[in-house]
Amino acid sequence: MEVFGRRHAEDWAGSLSSGRLERVAGGNIRRDVRMRFLPGPDKMVAGQLKRRGAHVATDSNASLDNLENELVTLGRRLRGLQRTLSDEAHPDLEPAQYALLNHVEELAPVRMADLVAALEVDKGPVSRACARLEEQGLLRRAADKSDARATLLTLTPSGKRKLAVARKKRHKVIEDLLKDWSPAQVKTFASQVAKFNKVAG
């Protein structure tokens, strides 16, 4: 009985790499035996890519499902956080008034139409909120010299001080909430939220 030696092993290994099996025994002529159960390299690669694609698609769907759930939770959490910020940071300012003062400071001097566009709300509520803030001495209206029909909005010194105090208190609430986060994590989170807001807007 012939021992299965090195030459035979090489013949088997070479045949496997080409997708077929050649059995050699002594000096007999080689006889090809097709291996129906062993696919060629091209089929093997195609199968691997198909499985990998299905795995990626599954991962993507799972990630989107997770993201959707987290966004729903985030919306609920943010509504609660907004109430907390309003109650603790500026109880005498409604959330909408704080947002309005914030935008006016950033855009000042700003026309009413541009403020409405920035806030993405109807003109009526913005106009009424501006009137209340003006009565409180926090907002000032002035005629636009370049357009007599337009009005420019700016913060009064009192409005700037009130906004600065409210913003500092809001920052403290957020800082306490993220006390276990590193500065790098806070920076990354802010960057990703800004990126999301940009595409969502």
Q: Which range marks the domain in which residue 18 is found? A: 1-38
The reply to whether 108 and 30 lie within a common domain is no
> Tens digit of pLDDT for each residue in 27-54?
444 444 444 444 555 555 556 555 665 5
Residue with tokens 């704080």: 98
Domain-embedded: residue 11? yes
Q: How much is the pTM?
A: 0.62
Domain-embedded: residue 78? no
Evaluate if residue 5 carries a pLDDT over 70.
no
Domain-embedded: residue 73? no
Domain-embedded: residue 109? yes
Domain-embedded: residue 148? yes
Domain count, the chain: 2
**Closest to 161 measured CA to CA, from 136, 141, 142, 130:** 136
Half-sphere exposure of 200 (CA within 13 A, CB side): 7
- The CATH number given to whatever domain includes residue 157 is 1.10.10.10
Domain-embedded: residue 177? yes
Distance CA 201, CA 191 (A): 15
Evaluate if residue 132 carries a pLDDT over 80.
yes
Domain-embedded: residue 18? yes
Domain-embedded: residue 155? yes
**Closest to 139 measured CA to CA, from 121, 152, 125:** 152
